[in-house]
């Protein structure tokens, strides 16, 4: 079975107050080596499609139509075999 791992992140340049807050929390814990932090979404899709090319096209369409908002977000995904 194929599984898609979809990563959705805010476009570059868009303010991410959540990421900034996480970064300052890390800093207050002594992790001062973090120059920037961006928080995004991770979506796991178990697919019934077994053909990789078809699955890629399908997931791409899912991302464009629903999972990501092209005005504010970028997406990428990969496919992996799962039992």
Q: What distance in Å separates the CA atoms of residue 5 and residue 11, rounded to the nearest whole number?
A: 19
Binding site for other proteins (CB under 8 A): 10, 14-15, 17-18, 21, 66-67, 69, 71-72
Report in angstroms the alpha-carbon separations of 55 from 6, 24, 38, 48, 60: 13, 39, 28, 9, 8
Q: Which residue's CB is nearer to other proteins, number 39 or number 79?
A: 39
Cβ distance to other proteins smaller for residue 1 or 72: 72
| Least gap, CB of 10 to other proteins (angstroms) | 8
Distance of CA 3 to the CA centre of its chain: 14
Name which of 13 and 83 has its Cβ closer to other proteins. 13
């Amino acid at each position: 079975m194929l599984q898609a791992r979809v990563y959705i992140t805010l476009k570059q340049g868009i303010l991410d107050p959540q990421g900034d807050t996480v970064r300052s929390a890390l800093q207050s814990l002594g992790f001062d080596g973090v120059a920037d932090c961006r928080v995004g979404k991770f979506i796991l899709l178990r697919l019934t499609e077994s053909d990789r090319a078809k699955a890629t096209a399908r997931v791409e369409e899912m991302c464009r139509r629903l999972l990501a908002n092209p005005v504010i977000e970028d997406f990428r995904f990969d496919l992996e075999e799962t039992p």
